[in-house]
Amino acid sequence: MPRAPIRVDLRIGCVRQRAVSFAGVGTVAALAPLLVQMAPSADVLAMATTEIDISKVQSGQGIKTQWRKQPVFVRNLTPKEIAEANAVSLSELRDPETLAQRTKPGHANWLITLGVCTHLGCVPLGIGEGENKGPYGGYFCPCHGSMYDTAARIRQGPAPKNLMVPDYKFTSPTTVQIG
C-alpha cells in the first residue's frame, strides 16, 4: 500500500529561521564591543604620523625627536659624510644597503632613522653635539658596543641589522612627515 505524502509544517520552518536569525544578531551584538575595544586609541592614532621642521638643522648636525614613543634621529649629512658612506663596499657590511637606499632621491643629505639599536633596543649615542660617534663617525651604542657608520649601517658589534629607516616623505623642502 502506498504511503501518504508527509505534510511539512511551514510553521516549524519559520520558527527555525527566526531562531537562527536571532542567534546571529545576538552573536554580532556580543562581538561588536570586543572588536571596537581592539581598535587603536585616540592617542595612538595621533602618533601615527609626525611632522618635523628641519629648517634649522645645519649640515653636519642632527636632532632627536619622537615618533610612536620611539626616538628618531634626523641627520643632515655633510658632503664628506656622504662620500665616506658611498666609499664603503657593500661586501664589508653585515646588512648591505647603500646610502641611496636609506635616503630619498634628491635628499641624499637627510638621513632619518629610528634611534633604537637593533641588538637589544638601546638608544645609541652620536646624534647630539659632542656625543661619541664611534670610529666610523655615525653612532655608538655604549651598552654592548655596536658601532654604526655615517649612513647608520652596522659596522661592528653585536647588532644584527642597520638602524631602521621609517616610512617618511618630504612634504616641503623644510618639513618631513614620518609615518
The pLDDT tens digits for 127-144 are: 888 888 888 888 999 888
Which positions are catalytic?
144
pLDDT tens readout for residues 106-115: 999 999 999 9
- Judged against a pLDDT cut of 60, whether residue 169 lies above it is answered with yes
pLDDT cut 90: percent of the chain above it: 50
CATH, residue 134: 2.102.10.10
Q: Where are the alpha helices (DSSP H) in the chain?
A: 10-37, 42-46, 79-87, 99-102
Whether 21 maps to a domain, the answer reads no
Whether 66 maps to a domain, the answer reads yes
Provide the residue range defining the domain that includes 170. Answer: 46-178
What's this model's pTM, rounded to 2 decimal places?
A: 0.72
Whether 29 maps to a domain, the answer reads no
Whether 106 maps to a domain, the answer reads yes
Whether 104 maps to a domain, the answer reads yes
Return the pLDDT at 45.
Answer: 63
How many domains are contained in the chain? 1
Whether 16 maps to a domain, the answer reads no
Return the pLDDT at 38.
Answer: 77
